[in-house]
Amino acid sequence: MMREAVPDEPQTWEALPPMLRESWRRSSGYLKDPGHASPPIDLSESDLPGARREHPLSAAMPVFDRLLIQPARDAGLIVAVGDAQGRLLWVDGDRPTLRRAESQGFQAGANWSERAIGTSAPGTALASGRAVKVDQEQHFAVAAHRFSCSAAPVHCPHTGGLLGMVDITGGREAVATHSLPLVVAAIAAAQGELRSTAAGQGLPRLITLGQESPSLARGPASWRLSPRHADLLVLLGWETGGPRGRAEAGMNAAQLAEDLFGEPGHEVSLRAEVNRLRRVLTQVPAPEPGLTLLSRPYRLSQPLPLDAVDVYEALRRGDRATALDLYAGDLLPRSQSPGITRIRWELSAMLREAVLQDGSPLEICRYLQLPEARGDEAALREALRLLPPDSPERALLVARSTT
């Protein structure tokens, strides 16, 4: 029988499932004394009301209460909902279990990220971007050994950005077969609530990745754009929100015309397209003062939500999982405008470099599913090098490489 995993004996970590083994490796770099570690309290009682009120998941708490917290009380469990930094904002459920958990620092305001307390379902779900369950001694810190937990990350249904996580904690019932699917199902219902409550709020979002017919979308409504108008909005949106973005961003007429048409001397045609696009934008509902195009230099009146910029922002944060979630394919694949071709290549190259430099084997596999990665032999070799011999993903890649 394989020995139980012990923090200061790495040779015993093979007893852990692969996902938790990786988490222990990360945790060993964060916690020097797992036998005496305790979670820090990052939010005081006076800080919590404001943090809860301002967090996007506050709108989903009625869903979590109905689907998780109320059933948890009957099962002797507690439910925690936290932010993307691992701070627990809401902790509720069975009262006796709450009291025992609080004695170990599992309480609202505490930080349960991997950096703060090592392997736990809340922290590891955030670090890995995947649903996870952690049974008692599988926690890296001894303080957490009294409890088992299951958790999954929550992403924004509009941008794909990480909002936080949801966790069930308690006895062995917290890692029973049905517990993690219950958390995932509640999160799906909550995301539906967030999607509907956000409908009709904020500026429309420009959808361009993998789209032959680009559009502006706001809640359930969408407005198709002509290829030329989509090109214009992407050029100006990337100028503001991309790698070289700045608050005073703008493009002069000659620069924008050349990026759009591919040669100098088209400023008159550019002005005509800009005027037509301004009329289109007046027909798209948006909160006052709305969105328009300003001149001298050409720029957007306010930042436009743009899927390509969201991918860039995720990569800048090192959040490769979210970037892969959002990256639906080439930027405006039919566009031949030189400026769009440049941004298309730039974004694709940033994604590839981030995944190959720092990505997990599964993230590299996800990248290889993209059409643009079909012939990427370097990425394929890297994935095969990192994947375990018995990995089903490895078998699929080997089969693909021989066809």
Q: How far apart are the first and last CA of the chain?
A: 41
Give 242's pLDDT tier (boundaries 50, 70, 90). confident
Digit-coded pLDDT (tens) for 118-142: 999 999 999 998 899 999 999 999 9
Give me 182's structure tokens: 């219950």
Give the pLDDT score at 1.
Answer: 37
- Burial track 88-120 (b if 16+ CB lie within 10 A, e otherwise): bbbbbbbeebbebbeebbbbbbbbbbbbbbbbb
Give the pLDDT score at 113.
Answer: 94
Digit-coded pLDDT (tens) for 305-356: 898 998 998 898 888 888 888 888 899 999 999 999 999 999 999 999 998 8
Q: Which of 31-35, 337-341, 385-389 has the lowest mean pLDDT?
A: 385-389
Residues 6+ apart with CB under 8 A from 216: 204, 205, 206, 207, 222, 223, 225, 284
Contact predicate 144/125, CB 8 Å: no
Structural domains in the chain, sorted by start: 10-198 (3.30.450.40), 222-304 (1.10.10.10), 308-401 (no CATH)
379 or 95, which is more confident? 95
Interatomic CA distance for residues 258 and 274, integer angstroms: 14
Give the pLDDT score at 394.
Answer: 67
The whole-chain average pLDDT of the chain stands at 87
Contact predicate 120/134, CB 8 Å: yes
Q: Which of 265-269, 333-337, 377-381 has the lowest mean pLDDT?
A: 377-381
Give the pLDDT score at 161.
Answer: 76
Q: Residue 47: which H helix or E strand, with range?
A: none
For the whole model, what pTM was predicted?
A: 0.56
Give the pLDDT score at 390.
Answer: 64
Digit-coded pLDDT (tens) for 270-298: 999 999 999 998 888 776 677 888 888 99
Residue by residue, DSSP assigns 350-396 as: HHHHHHHHH--HHHHHHHHTSGGGTT-HHHHHHHHHHS-TT-HHHHH
Give the pLDDT score at 220.
Answer: 63
Contact predicate 326/311, CB 8 Å: yes
Across 54-58, 109-113, 183-187, the highest mean pLDDT is recorded for 109-113
Give the pLDDT score at 240.
Answer: 82
pLDDT exceeds cutoff 50 at 199:
no
Mean pLDDT of 148-177: 88
Give 401's pLDDT tier (boundaries 50, 70, 90). low
Give the pLDDT score at 52.
Answer: 92
Instruction: Tell me phi and psi for residue 187, to 5 degrees.
Output: -65, -40
